[in-house]
Structure 1
Amino acid sequence: MNKIDENLIVLARSGDQVALLKLLEICQPDLNRFSRKVCSNAEDAEDAVQVALWILYKKIEVLRTISALSSWLFRIIERECYRIFRSNKKNFHMAPNEVEQLYEANYISSSEQSVLKIDLSRAIISLPGTYRTVLILRDINELTAPEVADILGLSIEAVKSRLHRARNIVRKKLELSGHFS
């Protein structure tokens, strides 16, 4: 985190609202950058930053040492991103063996495969439900487009369109994570 004037933190801890607002303003860009690396999507990252700034605003007086500010805020963001990820995961229905099939890629080292698994899971989970369902039915359950269309009550063209969009979104998220060039 950028160097923050210790006097500003002391003033904010003592209840100076102007100092506190200035501190929030100074912290936000670094928190935004960090949250985008930790959270699964931009919306979750924004939510995590807002939670961290709100906690800082409400509980600045409990900060024990000035040097602990950045690590305290980063831990709040990590916990919030994980909480959001867990709550999103509850809405994601996939059997464990289907998840494993999704990650079979023997040409990738185990450490790279672990990172890819996490990023791929995040990308799929972050898809809007309509795209996620089509992607899982077609690419994981290996159903045909007509079968998916029958199950979901859609036209075959709609299934193909949603699948195309879902794959593009996942590919872009994986590219942003550094997996493909």
Structure 2
Amino acid sequence: MDSLDIQEVMRARQGDREAFTRLMRQLETPMYAVAKQIVQRDEDCADAMQETVFIAYKSMYTLREPAYFRTWIIRILINECRRLLKQRNKQVPLTDLSDKPSPSPEEDDGLELREAIDSLELPMRLVVVLHYIQDLPIKEVARTLEISEGTVKSRLYRAREKLLRWMEKSRGVESQYESR
């Protein structure tokens, strides 16, 4: 279960507030990364994360398997992000990079990849983020998203294909400008 301690989860499940707080602190960064991929705006990420923590705390007793605590939390977060998007009745925008300073050559590849991931449809973007960025195994991604492992694998395959085409197209455009 990654670095989360099952005993800590058990204590939190029995009402230990400090144990729950420690668990939430450990998951803060992964939760933010997932929320950011779905809702994009920092204030929406904060809202979704806050609501997720509240829901998780209230319903901690419903967690059946402590080993899947992280999966359970991420699932709640994804549902909250989707609810927030519906509530705000908006589309998921591409990240606006225009106000940011120009990246160094090393950072440029990272920004290019981030932009490529942002261009994926939400179902594919979620599996990419959970599997490659959050380092969840395919089985956990399937459990988190409540889809089959085969669906996760096919979405990862299609996402890799789209990312490769996106990157090739992006680099092709760059080389066109560089040759002038």
The 5 Å alignment of 1:22-171 reads 22-89=22-89, 121-123=91-93, 168=98
Question: Could you tell me how far 1:177 is from its partner in structure 2?
Answer: 3.0
Letter of the 1:123 partner, please give it: P
Post-superposition CA distance 1:134-154 (Å, at most 9, x none):
xxxxxxxxxxxxxxxxxxxxx
CA contact (8 A) 2:39 2:45 kept: yes
**2:8 — aligned with what?**
8
Q: Distance in 1 between matches of 2:50 and 2:115?
A: 23
- Tell me how far 1:64 sits from its aligned partner: 0.4
Question: Could you tell me whether the CA contact under 8 Å between 1:8 and 1:19 is conserved in 2?
Answer: yes
Task: Write the distance in 2 (CA, Å) between the matches of 1:12 and 1:39.
Answer: 28
Contact 1:40–1:85 under 8 Å retained in 2: no
TM-score, length basis structure 1: 0.50
State the distance in 1 between where 2:30 and 2:48 align.
13
By relative contact order (CA 8 Å, sep 6+), the higher-ranking structure is 2
SS of 2:37 mapped into structure 1: helix
CA distance in 1, matches of 2:72, 2:3: 15
Does structure 1 residue 177 correspond to structure 2 residue 115? Answer: yes
The CA RMSD measured in Å over matched residues stands at 3.0
Post-superposition shift, 1:4?
Answer: 0.3
Distance 1:167 1:6 in 2: 40
Deviation at 1:11, TM superposition (A): 0.8
Distance in 2 of aligned mates of 1:44 and 1:55:
16
Q: What SS does the corresponding residue of 2:47 show, helix, strand or coil?
A: helix
Q: Could you give the per-residue CA deviations for residues 11-44 of structure 1, whole angstroms, max 9, x where no partner exists? A: 1111122212212222212111111122232221
Moved over 4 A (4+): 166-169
Partners in 2 of 1:63 and 1:8 — Cα distance? 13
TM-score, length-scaled by structure 2: 0.50
Task: Name stretches of at least 5 consecutive residues in structure 2 with no aligned partner.
Answer: 100-110, 120-169, 172-180
Partners of 1:15 and 1:4 in 2: CA distance? 17
User: What secondary structure is seen at the aligned counterpart in 1 of 2:77?
Assistant: helix
Structure 1 unmatched ranges of 5 or more: 93-120, 127-165
Tell me, in whole angstroms, the C-alpha distance in 2 between the residues paired with 1:8 and 1:2. 13
CA contact (8 A) 1:13 1:60 kept: yes
Change (3 A) 1:15 1:41: same
| Distance (whole Å) between structure 2 residues aligned to residue 86 and residue 17 of structure 1 | 31
SS in structure 1 at match of 2:92:
helix
Larger Rg: 1
Amino acid aligned to 1:122? V
Deviation at 1:2, TM superposition (A): 4.0
Instruction: Tell me how far apart the structure 2 counterparts of residues 22 and 8 of structure 1 sit (CA, whole Å).
Output: 8
